[in-house]
Amino acid sequence: MTLFPEMCEAVLSESIIGRAREKGCVDIRCVNIRDFTADKHNRVDDAPYGGGMGMLMQTQPIYDCYRSLYAETEEKPHLIYLSPQGKTLTQSRVKELSALPRVVLLCGHYEGVDERVLEEIVDEEISVGDYVLTGGELPALVLMDAICRMLPGVLPNDEAKELESHYNSLLEYPQYTRPPVWHGREVPEVLLSGHHGNIARWRREQSLLRTKLRRPELLETAELTKQDKAFLETLQTEGESDG
Ligand code: 4FL
């Protein structure tokens, strides 16, 4: 539910999501809230009671838009309002949302939305980070991108499994492609060795090292093997240096 369906449609027609929609892995519609206004001048916003700057989205167009979507199914669709006041999105919430049969996303605009329609229809508020944007469209697109990647048939099977694997709680290891030397910088030798065991171990250690240096709090909840822990111990004694 948005005032800018073309903006959303442009993003949702490209790349992984575009192909997922074509294949029928997911059904996404961008619905224009303005199409539901009862105002003869097509207005969807008005000045706030109590005064102050800017305009607010009114209750009626949003509610009628929502009712028309609800009318398509027996069950009430889960309604998410993208807002800086929401809970910050995590991969684990993305995974849970990807299991729901139907989700409706409400994108706010102007200076906000009349609180009463939010109280009436919103099931969950989600933020994509502590910064303010022009509207909820970009956060909604972020959420849809993340959800689509979790749906069956969207990613090649091995990539989908990697999303699930123990790597998902650690940062990615560095990656390289041709040429082997660029601006005097060499690709790490182990990657050219063809030794799959050593390569897997090196990548795991690079993930651990990066996570330790850049996002140490992620290690608290990561699933670590004895070997992982032993590696992290050696970092403590040697002092911290990247790469
Ligand atoms: C929504 C920011 C979700 C971050 C303005 C309107 C926002 C946002 N996460 N800013 N909506």
Establish whether residue 112 lines the binding site of ligand 1, counting it when its CB lies within 6 angstroms of any ligand atom: no
> pLDDT tens string for the chain (243 positions)?
999 999 999 999 999 999 999 999 999 999 999 999 999 999 999 999 999 999 999 999 999 999 999 999 999 999 999 999 999 999 999 999 999 999 999 999 978 999 999 999 999 999 999 999 999 999 999 999 999 999 999 998 767 656 555 556 899 999 999 999 999 999 999 999 999 999 999 999 999 999 999 999 999 999 999 999 999 999 976 654 554
Q: How far is the CA of 34 from the centre of ligand 1 (A)?
A: 20
Establish whether residue 83 lines the binding site of ligand 1, counting it when its CB lies within 6 angstroms of any ligand atom: yes
Establish whether residue 107 lines the binding site of ligand 1, counting it when its CB lies within 6 angstroms of any ligand atom: no
Establish whether residue 139 lines the binding site of ligand 1, counting it when its CB lies within 6 angstroms of any ligand atom: yes
- Please say whether the beta carbons of 193 and 187 come within 8 A: no
Establish whether residue 105 lines the binding site of ligand 1, counting it when its CB lies within 6 angstroms of any ligand atom: no
Establish whether residue 5 lines the binding site of ligand 1, counting it when its CB lies within 6 angstroms of any ligand atom: no
Which of 128, 130, 143, 144 to mutate to test ligand 1, by most ligand atoms within 8 A of the CB atom? 128
Which of 128, 133, 141 to mutate to test ligand 1, by most ligand atoms within 8 A of the CB atom? 133
Please give the sequence-ordered ranges of beta strands (E in DSSP) within the chain, or none if there are none.
Answer: 45-46, 56-57, 78-88, 103-107, 124-127, 181-182, 185-186
Please give the sequence-ordered ranges of beta strands (E in DSSP) within 108-158, or none if there are none.
Answer: 124-127
- Please say whether the beta carbons of 9 and 30 come within 8 A: yes
